[in-house]
Structure 1
Amino acid sequence: MVTRDPSRQDAQEILEQLAGPAARLRDDQWAAIEALVVHRRRALVVQRTGWGKSAVYFIAATLLRRNGHGATVIVSPLLALMRNQVAAAEKAGVRAATINSSNMTDWDAIHARVRGGDLDVLLVSPERLNNPDFRDSVLPELARDAGLVVVDEAHCVSDWGHDFRPDYRRIRTLLADLGSDVPVLATTATANDRVVADVAAQLGVGGLDTLVLRGGLDRESLRLSVVAAGNPAQRAAWLAAHLDTLPGSGIVYTLTVAQAHDVAALLRDRGFPVAAYTGATEAAEREQLEADLLGNRVKALIATSALGMGFDKPDLGFVVHLGAPSSPIAYYQQVGRAGRATERAEVILLPGREDADIWRYFGSLAFPPEQLVRKVIRELDGDRPLSTAALEPLVDLNRSRLEMVLKVLDVDGAVRRVKGGWVGTGVPWEYDEQRYRTLDDARRREQQAMLDYQVTERCRMAFLRGQLDDPTLAPDERCGRCDNCTGERVSGDVADADAEQTRAALMRPGVELAPRKQWPTGLATLGIALSGRITDGPSPGRVIGRLTDLGWGARLRALLDGPDADVPDDVVGAVVKVLAAWDWAQRPTAVMALDSATHPLLISSLRARLAELGRLTDLGTLRYAPGHRPVSAANSAYRVAALNGAWEPPDALPDGPVLLVDDRADTGWTMTMAARVVRAAGATDVLPFALAATS
């Protein structure tokens, strides 16, 4: 066993095992390793993507194990990152394993390896830090015996970071429980001055000093361009026309899941080997898609931000964005996937006027107002823990926002996750309204900066580096590679025939509307006697398109955001095409409209046109009962409760299926509850139709 202090040569030899004999240890890499291994310090390393941050912690972990110290714990945010890091560790003979949502069947065996000292490196997701079993039985042993703790993508620790995650705030508690001689390393490529100061302070909990190593963020291989290619269909046509000219294989980013699938389908129709990769993609399929891109078996993955931090393909040839992210910092992080080991990589942004609408939608999912948060705390004041599912009917928050609130309250100490759910702690909690307002202001400034990036005449790389407060950026510095520096503009023009072909493909109307199949849990708490499977709801329905679609999205948003008026002829034509392609078991015999508070003329005129064109019995409008209006509840149980008894029962209806028409489909509960009313009046089936789906 090595008992002397490791030398730079020791570190160099391990680096060669990791990266090959040509690899050379950087001065700052050694400075960080020495601080961790020799001086047992805490360090924050802020360096560009591809600089070699992971080499620092794998080398440090190996040297510490040689000196008899415990396993290294690496907190990583994404599965792709974990898989790549485990593979990298094995190259250097490091025994590594990961605990995350995709390998649940292996958890017990991995826990046993931790207890038996049979692991050199354990990678965990931040969510695992508050799993009761892991937190209470595994984490204390790790905190006591850890040789090194690594916080990767450390900007997630800071609520000023572009990808803040409440689970990451638990790391502060983990660090407080460590011995003062356990070294800690935090790494990120995307941290401005404010994030650096925040993360360094959190690393230094307990008064410990944090070494900060910041380097330049220039990426010499990247060729940044902004292309003005017009509307969504024109931008998609541009991509289809230029994809085969882009070098190697790469990533095409979209802002929504729907867009990713639309673009992937369009490009596959044109003969390109591509696939969609989103947050809704199953873990096993994600792993296969990543392997396909790494092996150049696809030209591109059409991805949302789910394919981001940690995906490592050194020869990735291009990154294209169909739509701009809401922050230059997030943009820098995503384009950093390209050109790590190539002389040139193309980075192209095709912004759209609808981008700001999508930013506003995601911004609406921010932390809820104080009264809702305090209701969550009150409901958890009882003697028994409540699961998230049991808590959901008691508060007007949908599942995703409720989970976010619980995580924030947990790390703030107001609630605690235990076996069986959540409990209140009784610890006083203050709603930091000023912090949330300040964060909202910061997000708006970032959005404006992203708009400024699109029109700036400055060097684009210098602009991004300035947003990240790059300490090495000189005044008026220019990269000499971007379109502004070279004057070489990428044309956004496409042939009229290509644009029309793409527009026609994207404007094919028709998206299936899946019915709700299960009543939300806890309805009895709200006085509603519904539970289990839904047996009297509607059949699968249809919409023209989603509001986020590249094709019909803009047209539908304009229609539903505009003044109430008779349904336009182009929309009627799209509806007819959808109905003609609908493979229903039995054709509808009648049509009925849902009462609308915002577009009564639009929906009633559509109902009348469909009755005329389809020779359907016109059943008029299903009217709201007195005192009932559209509900705004976000939570499924609350929506069902509010919609129960919301409509006046219609007179007896003729036998046969009824086409039930609305302006937009959101959660599916309005159609579900209305269908029960229509079926109770005699309809044999209900076929839901809406002009648009919100997602």
Structure 2
Amino acid sequence: METTTASDLRTQATTVLRRLVGRDDADFREGQFEAVEAIVGARQRALVVQRTGWGKSAVYFVSTALRRAEGAGPTVIVSPLLALMRDQVAAAERAGIHAVTMNSANADEWGRVSAALAADEVDVLLVSPERLNNPRFRDEQLPDLARRCGLLVVDEAHCVSDWGHDFRPDYRRIRDLLTTLPADTPVLATTATANARVVTDVVEQLGAGGHEVLTLRGGLARDSLRLGVLPLTSPEQRLAWLIAHLGDLPGSGIVYALTVSGAEDVAAALREAGYAVRAYTGRTDPADREELERMLRDNEVKALVATSALGMGFDKPDLGFVLHLGAPSSPVAYYQQVGRAGRATERADVLLLPGPEDKDIWAYFASASMPRQEQADAVLRALAESGKALSTVALESIVDIRRTRLDLLLKVLDVDGAVQRVPGGWTSTGQPWTYDAERYGRVTQARVREQELMLAYERTSECRMAFLQESLDDETAAPCGRCDNCAGPWFPTDVPDVAVTTARGRLERAGVELEPRAQWPTGMDRLGVPVKGKIPADEAMSPGYALARLTDLGWGQALRDRLRGDDAPVDESLLRACVPVLRDWGWSQRPVAVMAVPSRRRPQLVESFGAGLAQMGRLQWLGSLEPVDGGPVGEAGGNSAFRLAGVWERFVLTPDQQAAVAGLTGPVLLVDDLASSRWTLTVAARALRRAGAPAVLPFVLALEA
């Protein structure tokens, strides 16, 4: 039986809930009031693990209203995505709760928001985990917020754990924030995607300072979702199925692709087939993202073709379907994405069309997600020897680490206390740092197991929803009775010939623009390369083309296989595929000669590629540039400064080549097998331009992007 206090709290909380949702008959779902009671009544720290759509936001909005009525300060919500923040602000305002956000997109409003916070006019402040370490926010806002906030909410709390599918180093800062809170400040962490290992890790961090943590966990089954898997043999079969059957799927939804290029290619193919779709990726401008999200919510598009950039935080209660062209790397990540569908509908369709190339893509992304000891040591040494703050750009000219990996590594070192972000860049704290090889090894093994589980999900003959629940250690898992294994395939399995022809035509279409470098990297003088600023026009190459990206759905697989194999002359099919790219190039002047970049790994491929193009186009074949001292040094994958230093002045022309280039009346087609940083092509083109080439047009088989 409830105590009087609990009864009173329930009455108050129910009144607030009904005001929030605008219905006099509204009541809490199972587990919601228990969470409110733990937060408001007992001032506890609680972790809530509940399925997507259960109503976690209702818990913290009701708790906020009750805490504010008690005279407490604002609720601070740490939230991972701007999309989620926009949704939360809008939902709060509809409920009569004044919510504001401080993020990178509204820095011009920080002064107004700070004044409102100081005047206690804010009920909810949403911030990103990255904002917790912004020097200005950390020094000017955070101490006061920690002192007087009425509730701290950690949304998408699985991001705290590097065992999770979407670990973010910045979330580790929350543990430090927890230690600065008054002892009676309640904390709520929420997630829909945490297995037992992640729950244990999150609870350990939430308990910082010796606090007990209450875990409230519900069943993760989604009664509205109808799951299925359709294995098809090739990218053209999968794209053809989508062209033929996208219109059969209910309402509007999301088509997920594993790569940016895949999303863009599929969106283009579906638009050509007459569907109202748009691409949504990490390359999409923030303002455009907001508009695309609105279009999907308002059913102005049949689908957004998206990467994982459209994930946590996007809320459309009546989303009718989620379809994947290619599988995410774990059942947990898959559950997170399919959970966008069917929140307020009786049925939503979820279909996976896996591909054999999925494992290659998983391996590529996994390789970029873990810090490396030698790189960490190099960064710490550079900062210690500098004795002053160094910007990320300055660090790039000292340590050979690509920008995205360097950003990740600095965050890891920061949350571990070895470096600190300050105005102007990064400094060393002088605190010792040890590479936790054992932990990272165990994390890597855990992710390999997750990949194996995803493959098992594709093959299983058991209930698919129960499989996902068991992957999340949900003990309530039971057959759903709706998925293709429980009730038989609910989706069409035919792939019409006309759709296959359309898909094949799209995927066989080759040609990707290759933009030339415009600026030399900063700080090249530190590496002995005497260049800076803009690349002179008389030394620069012109825009060019690649046959395809390595991640493309069409030629990407063939090129990955070709570049992974032994060196051999170019395939006739690749040469034929180049013909329409060259035909449709649109150059102002046709090239008159072909020259190749010398290759250490695939000399036969590059030489025969260049010679074959020259023969097909009846162009003068100039052979390969001469490598100096063995040619370029270093491997692909580092940052721009070191990649440029590795190829700087490593190419020359023989006297005969110099004479031939000096006498040319038109551009040179400069060929290579693979473009990554584009500095090899840039330096080779510079050598040709300085020898008298009127223009240099780069053309490569594959683009690594």
Aligned 8 A contact 2:632 2:646 in 1: no
Matched, 1:463 2:467: yes
Q: Tell me, what secondary structure is at the counterpart of 1:557?
A: helix
Aligned to 1:507: 508
Give the partner amino acid of 2:441.
R
Aligned to 2:435: 431
Matched, 1:521 2:525: no
Aligned 8 A contact 1:250 1:316 in 2: yes
Matched, 1:350 2:353: yes
Aligned 8 A contact 2:227 2:483 in 1: yes
Aligned to 2:687: 677
Distance 1:280 1:67 in 2: 45
Aligned 8 A contact 2:643 2:677 in 1: no
The partner residue of 2:404 within 395, 400, 403 is 400
- Equivalence map 1:202-281=2 (5 Å): 202-281=205-284
Q: CA-to-partner distance for each residue in 1:226-277, whole Å, 9 max, x for gaps? A: 0012211110110011000000000000000001000000011111110000
The partner residue of 1:444 within 442, 445, 448 is 448
Moved more, 42-51 or 32-41: 32-41
Aligned to 2:605: 602
- Equivalence map 1:240-639=2 (5 Å): 240-381=243-384, 382-473=386-477, 477-488=478-489, 490-535=491-536, 536-632=539-635, 634-639=638-643
Give the partner amino acid of 1:252.
V
Moved more, 491-500 or 277-286: 491-500
The Cα shift of 1:609 comes to 1.8
Aligned residues: 689
Aligned to 1:43: 46
Aligned to 1:107: 110
Q: CA-to-partner distance for each residue in 1:587-631, whole Å, 9 max, x for gaps? A: 111100111122211221121122122121111001211233453
Q: Tell me, what secondary structure is at the counterpart of 1:286?
A: helix
Aligned to 2:648: 644
Aligned 8 A contact 2:49 2:216 in 1: yes
The Cα shift of 1:354 comes to 0.3
Q: Tell me, what secondary structure is at the counterpart of 1:591?
A: strand
Structure 1 unmatched runs, 5+: none
The Cα shift of 1:691 comes to 0.6
Aligned to 1:687: 697
Q: Percent identity?
A: 59
Aligned 8 A contact 1:597 1:630 in 2: no
The Cα shift of 1:80 comes to 1.1
The partner residue of 1:19 within 2, 18, 21 is 21
Give the partner amino acid of 1:438.
R
Q: Tell me, what secondary structure is at the counterpart of 1:185?
A: strand
Distance 1:559 1:226 in 2: 29
Distance 1:623 1:447 in 2: 44
Moved more, 103-112 or 54-63: 103-112
Give the partner amino acid of 2:13.
A
Matched, 1:89 2:99: no
Give the partner amino acid of 1:417.
R
Give the partner amino acid of 1:614.
G
- Equivalence map 1:155-170=2 (5 Å): 155-170=158-173
Q: Tell me, what secondary structure is at the counterpart of 2:105?
A: coil
Give the partner amino acid of 1:462.
A
Structure 2 unmatched runs, 5+: none
The Cα shift of 1:26 comes to 2.2
The Cα shift of 1:120 comes to 0.5
Give the partner amino acid of 1:28.
G
Moved more, 7-16 or 357-366: 7-16
Q: Tell me, what secondary structure is at the counterpart of 1:380?
A: helix
Q: Tell me, what secondary structure is at the counterpart of 2:397?
A: helix
Aligned 8 A contact 2:543 2:698 in 1: yes
The Cα shift of 1:489 comes to 5.5
Distance 1:629 1:534 in 2: 20
Which 4+ residue blocks in structure 1 deviate beyond 6 angstroms? none
Aligned 8 A contact 2:518 2:535 in 1: yes
Aligned 8 A contact 1:510 1:578 in 2: yes
Moved more, 562-571 or 545-554: 562-571
Q: Tell me, what secondary structure is at the counterpart of 1:542?
A: strand
Distance 2:319 2:242 in 1: 17
Moved more, 611-620 or 449-458: 611-620
Aligned 8 A contact 1:329 1:467 in 2: yes
Distance 1:366 1:479 in 2: 35
Distance 1:288 1:375 in 2: 42
Q: CA-to-partner distance for each residue in 1:473-509, whole Å, 9 max, x for gaps? A: 3xxx311010001123634431122102211112111
TM-score (norm 2): 0.96
Moved more, 327-336 or 222-231: 222-231
TM-score (norm 1): 0.97
Q: CA-to-partner distance for each residue in 1:106-143, whole Å, 9 max, x for gaps? A: 12221222222121100001110000000011001100
The Cα shift of 1:55 comes to 0.6
Matched, 1:201 2:220: no
